[in-house]
Amino acid sequence: MARVKKPQAKPLPGDPNDPNGMHVWTQRFLKALLVKGNSPQTVDTRRLRLGAFIEWCSTRSITMPMQVTKPVIEAYQRHLFHRRLPNGKPLSFGTQHGSLVAVKRLFQWLTRSNVLLYNPASEIELPRLGRRLPRHVLTAAEVESVLAVPDVKDPLGLRDRAILEVLYSTGVRRSELVKLHVFDVDVERGTILVREGKRSNDRVVPIGERALTWIEKYQREVREQLLTDANNTVLFVSKLGDGLTPGHLTMIVRRHVKAANIGKTGSCHLFRHAMATLMLEGGADVRMVQAMLGHASLNTTALYTHVAIRALKEVHDRTHPGARLGKPEAKTTTPTPEAEALLAKLAAEADADHE
């Protein structure tokens, strides 16, 4: 089977021979991002978004950074808002936000590098981003249904079972899982080392005994059979003997989720959502979950508290007179510690809102 080639990054539009043109200065900006330690993925995303901006400018005869003014960027913001995808849907506010951030960062760098006297994007207001809940969150039973799908008698099925167990136990991102090496797994301490996660940060994440057992079984029975290079230390390998790509991992997980026939769709992030939600429902402190997920902001992790509503549902059933069928019973029940903790948290938030 032919090896699948990684798609090449789309080149920047514009004239590469114009020393004052948008193409040249954008290329210098992207190189500066790499020098400052930004990941190649981040730089590729900025290249894609800035390429769209350069193309939009070129249709308006704007070819140099010094020709870009605040009204020009405001017009581009309106263009993003009114743009429609091939299916007729508008760009999400997240996409609009990311596109404008790339433009703001470019002109911020140009100003600091003394290429421009002032930053035309400094006063551009970015679209407001709402906090969207995960579309699908798996229950513990649904996760077990997906885990049971791979045929562990087949080498690739055994590998897939180990992958699913690691995703569920640790909540790592797909880009983090494909970077795992055999020496990143510490069986004695029950942890894995996640290398160069988001924002290029490393972190140590606990992993359960069950996941470690499946990793050990996969390494003992399958991994060496798949390897084509004995010096390759990547933990999970493809049937071609090299490391998995994030896209390949997505296809593997999506296939097993679909085969489980649980009525929910998704891929690797389903297990990340499930891990965070189930841990919070089980009483884990939100800051501990934040450390596991590698979130820079607690606000990002707190999003899962809106999904983990078991304790809130208990409070609702206990206190709301119309929560159950039939005549309300005149009895007093003792709330669980989880429900008491949630009540205390809600009371503290209410007090903070009134201050």
Residues annotated as catalytic are 173, 198, 269, 272, 295, 304
Q: At what angle do helices 22-35 and 93-112 cross, to 10 degrees?
A: 90
Residue type at 305?
A: T
Q: Tell the residue number behind the tokens 């020496």, with chain if given.
A: 183
